[in-house]
Structure 1
Amino acid sequence: MKVESLVSRDIFYLTMMYAFNGVHDKVPLWGHLRRIAGTITGPHAIAGDFNCVLSATERVGGNVPTTEIEPFRDCVADCRVLNINVIGSLFAWNNKQKPEERIYSRLDRVLVNKAWCDHLPNLYAHFLPEGMYDHTPCIVSRSKQTQGKCSFKYFNMWGGSKDFIPIVRSNWEKYNDNENATNIKQKQVEELQAQLGRDPTDMLLRSIEYEAVHLLKELSIARDSFFSQKAKHRWVKEGDSNSAFFHGLLKQRKHWNKVIKVEDIHGKVCDTPEQIQSAFLGYYRQLLGTTHTTNKVHKRIIDQGPRCSPNDCSRVLIRPVNAIIL
């Protein structure tokens, strides 16, 4: 589905879907989604009932075979789409059975590509209570929040450089843009290699190119270490390419850390930054600044139960420990 904004005239692409229940029945669907995603370069969202989960943690009350997870996970990776932030009911489906037979699964979701994240960075999906149905209704909205101030963070890759301490001492406030330095060195290496392609007998040019490639490798390792720590994804390994999909994961994690809505102590839903801040302050002021009365312990009630004499207590405490006690 091709959608045009009446305000900005931007073009968006939306794929609505409903997947079959069987694992093998969904195989053609995964291939179809790959073909659709491969032909779209603009903002693209895929939403609906996938009838599948991405991990075992997305189901409660039933087993999740790997044969169900892996094809869907591979399709999501190939389509280079990500989950948008979710509030409300994470498990969008349940089988409505008796309590001891109830199964909850996250079958419904909204996936978007990087272009969509760039155009609508504060998008989130609100899954409402399902009522009498087995699936929860979903409303996709845009958060009212704006980017605030970011705290300073230290990254481990900095300490791996021999020049780290001298740079910090000489110019504390100077920012070292590793990403920009890597891109510049990459272009220099490409130019040198192009010259070598025209004249591979130039020994001086070979030496310069060799040193440039060595420095580029060091910068690339530092860059990947930086983004690996920032993304906090275990599957990221040293040497992984710095792709647009990788940067999309960083934006996704940053968006997930946002508090989009919260209820205050009076049950009112707060969705603006000022209201959310006031709700948290009000809760902790009540929690930490309120005096609570406790029930008085009556000695006469304690005396009605069995009591140990001081000697009995001493014997119990110094009694040897044996295997039966352990």
Structure 2
Amino acid sequence: MSTLKIISWNCRGSANSRTMSRIKALMRSHQPNLICLVETRSDHNRAINFCSKFTRSWHWAAIPAQGFSGGIVTLWKQRVGMVTPIATSRFALHLIISSENPSQWILTVIYNAQNIQFQKGLWMELEIFSSFDLPWILVGDFNAILTCEEHRGGRFDNYSHKSKLFNKFINNNRLFDLGYIGSPFTWCNNQIGLARRWARPDRVLANNEWVSKFESYFNKHLPRTAPDHSPLLLTATSLSQQKHRVFRFDNYWFDYNACHVNVSKAWNSRTTANPMQAITHFIAKTKSNLCKWKSKDLTPLDEHIKKVEEEILQHEALESTLDYSDLISIALRGLYNKHNALLRQNTLRLAQRAKLLWIKHGDYNSHFFHRHAKIRAHRNKVYALLTEQGDLLYDQVSIS
């Protein structure tokens, strides 16, 4: 599955014929893999009746509404993979999905309560899932906003306490808001004049593990039309085509004499061009020399570290045998030093990518640096482009 599409919508009741027509129109136009509907206001029998209206290629799981409040229905296509509901509560439906990429991940569909005490209970319940070392994504209506910019009309005092708890939950569980394309608000009370209110209670959150599994993603706020909530369309893509790589100088190359030789060779070459052209030629020559040296003679750090660790294991295996000697002991100390030097180089490389060169002490947090760099790459990527004609382009070929 190279592209994952999830539609999330607070439909304000699933029995309405207009709601059913809108859902089927969304299916036809966007071809989603999963559809997450909240505030369905459907009890057990109504949820079964609602889901039976879809073809056999769709499977479903639901949380019945209590009276005229709440209710969650999630539908998924067979091609998504094996989907297993692992836990349910009044305000959240949790599904574990086994697929090709990511191999195993958790989807949590949320319709949070308005009452702040119930919200506290849900945040505590969800903290259990952050302890799982699995990709995790949360979609739905959180009935809370993060900042005062996420509402218009009325006073922020109505949101402030819920906002503090919501921000605390996101920070404590190391989640990311995946942002949006389109209108800044997903809810409107549809009143007229000064009584009109807007907010963004619907959103998509994900952890580091989920974000790192995809090359690109974007969350689009679809038109609100008749109801008071906008549907959300999340598209996450694993790109298989080869990307054009930008040349970047790694600071750990300074540890290699061949790096200095290639740079010196480039800048000492003769040229008959004027000074400005000569500098351009020298820089291009430097890049060319370093690229050739890197591809031919420089072993990738991860591969080099693995190779040295295998040599250390071979030498350490001899310590309990009669073949062990002082020469092996000396060789082993040399391998230890080499391994430490490679770890230092790898930390420097990842810290440079993560823009964290100010870190001078502490453990080798290579895993942290790698994740930080991955998040920066996603934030720097252009996922959509608005043309002068007002058209939104999403595929990378058209954007290029």
Relative to the length of structure 1, the TM-score reads 0.58
Say whether the 8 Å CA contact 2:354–2:372 is kept in structure 1: yes
Q: 1:222, CA displacement in angstroms? A: 1.6
Q: Which runs of 5+ in 2 are unaligned?
A: 1-60, 62-73, 83-97, 100-105, 266-288
- 1:209-220 mapped onto 2 (5 Å cutoff): 209-220=332-343
> Could you tell me how far apart the structure 1 residues matched to 2:346 and 2:179 are?
27
Q: Tell me if structure 2 keeps the 8 A contact 1:261–1:271.
A: yes
Q: Is residue 91–residue 105 contact of structure 1 (8 Å, CA) maintained in 2?
A: yes
Aligned to 1:292: none
1:16 paired residue number:
109
Alignment map for 1:137-286 (pairs within 5 Å): 137-142=231-236, 148-159=243-254, 164-166=259-261, 172=290, 173-175=292-294, 176=298, 177-193=300-316, 195-196=318-319, 204-232=327-355, 239-243=363-367, 246-277=369-400
The Cα of 1:59 is off from its aligned counterpart by 6.0
* Structure with the largest fraction of strand: 2
Measured after TM superposition, the shift of residue 106 of structure 1 is 7.4
Shift in Å at residue 165 of structure 1?
Answer: 0.9
State the Cα deviation string for residues 12-68 of structure 1 (Å, max 9, x = none): 531112456788865654554343355575x542223456677x7976896799776
Higher mean Cα deviation, 226-235 or 254-263? 226-235
- What are the Cα deviations for residues 221-267 of structure 1, in whole angstroms up to 9, with x where unaligned? 22122122223368977644333x65444334323333222222122
Structure 1 residue identity aligned to 2:209: K
Letter in 2 for 1:48: G
C-alpha deviation, 1:104, in angstroms: 6.2
Q: SS where residue 260 of structure 1 aligns? A: coil
Aligned counterparts of 1:35 and 1:116: Cα–Cα separation in 2: 19
How many residues matched?
A: 268
Partners of 1:208 and 1:58 lie apart in 2 by 62
Match of residue 78 from structure 2: 6
Aligned pairs (5 A) from 1:38-57: 38-39=131-132, 41=134, 44-50=136-142
Distance 2:256 2:248 in 1: 17
Q: Which protein is bigger by CA-based radius of gyration?
A: 1
What is the aligned partner in structure 2 of residue 294 from structure 1? none
Residues 90 and 106, structure 1, Cα contact 8 Å, conserved in 2: no
**1:139 Cα deviation after fit:** 0.9
Task: After superposition, give the CA deviation of every residue in 1:47-100 in whole Å (9 maximum; x if it has no partner).
Answer: 23456677x797689679977644431212xxxx6554642346667899999x
SS of alignment partner, residue 244 of structure 2: coil
Select 2:126's aligned residue among 8, 33, 36: 33
Would the aligned equivalents of 1:94 and 1:103 in 2 still touch at CA under 8 Å? yes
RMSD between superposed Cα atoms in Å: 4.8
Deviation of 1:270 after TM superposition, in Å, equals 2.4
Letter in 2 for 1:164: C
AA in 2 matched with 1:111: A
Secondary structure of 2:170's partner?
helix
Change (3 A) 1:192 1:5: farther
How does the TM-score come out when normalised to structure 2? 0.50
Corresponding residue for 1:73?
171
Work out whether 1:114 is the aligned partner of 2:213: no
The residue identity in structure 1 corresponding to 2:304 is: A
Counterpart-to-counterpart distance in 1, 2:255 and 2:378: 29
In structure 2, distance between residues paired with 1:94 and 1:257? 31
CA distance in structure 2 between the aligned counterparts of 1:21 and 1:197, rounded to whole angstroms: 67
CA separation of 1:182 and 1:144: change in aligned 2, threshold 3 A: closer
